[in-house]
Amino acid sequence: MKLIAAVDSNWAIGNRGDMLVRIPKDQKCFREMTGGKVVVYGRKTLATFPQGQPISGCTNIILSRDKSYRVKGAKLVHSVEELLEEVKKYNSDDVYITGGESVYAQLLKYCDTAHITRIDHEYEADAYFPDLDSDPEWEITAESDEETYFDLEYHFVKYERKK
């Protein structure tokens, strides 16, 4: 499985239930990478999507402890164990973990690749992605040239779990 996230310079990913920033090229990259694939995320992350709807053109799996929660157009699972059983139906390379904080924290150990948009800015935040730079199990295997969106500078960075 893979992870995909946009993080600031402190590995922050969100604040007060929303993304820190929306960068069009990052969102385009997300759509290109996950299009037609399996995306896994939590209920709170779904709330940040346009109209709070699952991603069209993808197989959506929502991890939520709330057994009464229902979403049209998405499969619901209620535990990591149930999720791991569900994703066995798919090619592991086609499964992307897309957030939020607790979903990333629970599933990092099952992933071998992380596609991270590193934004060179510090935001006010209350949700964070695990710091892969300080995790000895992960290494950078690819990095884009610097990109700019207005006054923001960012890079697309690929991390892989060391063999």
User: Residue 75 has which token pair?
Assistant: 């499969």
Distance CA 100, CA 163 (A): 26
**Per-residue model confidence (pLDDT) at position 62:** 97
Domain residues for the domain of 29 are 2-161
28 contact partners, CB below 8 Å, separation of at least 6:
none
| Residues with Cβ within 8 Å of residue 53, at least 6 apart in sequence | 46, 73
Burial of 99 from C-beta contacts in 10 A (0-12 / 13-18 / 19+) = buried
Containing 36, the helix (H) or strand (E) segment is: none
Per-residue pLDDT tens, the chain, 163 aa: give them.
Answer: 999 999 999 999 999 999 999 999 999 999 999 999 999 999 999 988 888 899 999 999 999 999 999 999 999 999 999 999 999 999 999 999 999 999 999 999 999 999 999 999 999 999 999 999 999 999 999 999 999 999 999 999 999 999 8
Predicted structure pTM score: 0.95
Exposed/middle/buried for residue 136 (C-beta within 10 Å: 0-12, 13-18, 19+):
exposed
Q: How many domains does the chain have?
A: 1
The enclosing domain of 14 has a CATH number of 3.40.430.10
What single-letter amino acid sits at 110?
Y
